[in-house]
Structure 1
């Protein structure tokens, strides 16, 4: 179980400024979620996706602070990892996972981790960097993106996981060149959800005049300022306009499996 945060700003800013008062409490979460971290960010129009990952706890490495201070961006995805049992803390298992102009991070787990392998295009599966369920989730989304838009692909992949696995949460963030997407989903009867409580896997988002933030629980999210992203919905935040949409995707989208 991990922690997620995404931010989109009207103009490029250092991440410390874009996150403002959320940077310190999010970093503090790495005292528990200490199995590595990653940041994917768009430095600006016309430049490539910037990726920094580390297997050290964020609170205990200067590289995390330097990355927050030194990354000038209008759109970023941040991930703090708490590794599932038996999954090693190595770079290949560290989020975000990236291919080309896309980055993906997941909060939760499902088992068996290879339940989607037959649904993933062979070229994508052959390029897997690690052995996590989360990367398989991303690879299935990538497969679907060859025919579907990001909103449908996220909801479609999640529905397939629900049908094939036992899972705790399918919360995720997907970063593209055009937008940041968030998907929210959990099994409230999972052992983790019962132990952690009903709010642990909730994703919330905040819309300000010049910034939109989406985050896992654990950072300050006072009522009135933050909105809960309902389960099985996709939040879409456009980079160019900061336009925010919450999509409800029909279950009929999912093919027979």
Structure 2
């Protein structure tokens, strides 16, 4: 299982500055979520850029450098705790995607092959890793390539996965496009992971300030009412012009 952190702001700044007091508590989770990291951000040309590594996020000089130097108005940061049967490699490290969209997932879907029917053979052939998470993204991309906006593409894909997979621990995800940050929150409340971690482990919450909104999975204190939980089984959309979540 992984951890997710996203930010959208009206005023571009280095990612480390945008995430401010949330960054260090998030990176401290790499003591357990130690199987790599990835960041996605909207660059100065309006495209999505992705950088990732397989070292521990809290020990990565490259990550710290990028967080200080990348100036943006939207970003997603992911730290990975690999499923036991999936290799720690760059190909399996989130976020997945390209200049059009970057996708990070927190959860597990079995079997991985249950997602293949949702993806055209030509798109499936572009998969570089072996994770369920990359296939989740490709299934969303399939919807988008057919003309669907991002939010309904995520929601419909999640529904289709529920109908086909034998086991779904969580479908939590964040997707960054040039148009906004999209999140989806859903998990199986009866999963053994919940039993080990507690009921809030798969919650996604957000905190809105004057010029920015931060969205995050659990792991460090997120006091109410400053932090508000996003509704389950819905896609939330955040943009630089509308920091409040638009719920789909």
So what's the TM-score if we normalise by structure 2?
0.96
Q: Is the 8 A contact 2:49 2:98 kept in 1?
A: no
Identify the residue that residue 33 of structure 1 maps to in structure 2: 33
Distance across 2 between alignment mates of 1:123 and 1:43: 28
Identify the residue that residue 79 of structure 1 maps to in structure 2: 78
Q: Is the 8 A contact 1:27 1:58 kept in 2?
A: yes
Deviations 1:197-233 (A, max 9, x none): 1000000011111001110001331111011011101
Alpha-carbon shift at residue 86 of structure 1 (Å): 1.3
Identify the residue that residue 211 of structure 1 maps to in structure 2: 212
User: How many residue pairs are counted as aligned between the two chains?
Assistant: 246
Secondary structure at the aligned position of 1:18 is classed as: helix
RMSD (Å), alpha carbons: 1.1
Q: Is the 8 A contact 1:34 1:57 kept in 2?
A: yes
Identify the residue that residue 161 of structure 2 maps to in structure 1: 161
Runs (5+) with no aligned partner, structure 1: 248-257
Identify the residue that residue 250 of structure 1 maps to in structure 2: none
Secondary structure at the aligned position of 1:141 is classed as: helix
Alpha-carbon shift at residue 63 of structure 1 (Å): 1.1
Secondary structure at the aligned position of 1:143 is classed as: helix
Distance across 2 between alignment mates of 1:103 and 1:220: 27
Alpha-carbon shift at residue 243 of structure 1 (Å): 4.5
Distance across 2 between alignment mates of 1:152 and 1:102: 15
So what's the TM-score if we normalise by structure 1?
0.93
Q: Is the 8 A contact 2:50 2:98 kept in 1?
A: no
Identify the residue that residue 136 of structure 2 maps to in structure 1: 137
| C-alpha distance 93-30 of structure 1, shift in aligned 2 (>3 A) | same
Distance across 1 between alignment mates of 2:86 and 2:123: 21
Runs (5+) with no aligned partner, structure 2: none
Distance across 1 between alignment mates of 2:237 and 2:47: 21
Distance across 2 between alignment mates of 1:159 and 1:49: 26
Identify the residue that residue 228 of structure 1 maps to in structure 2: 229
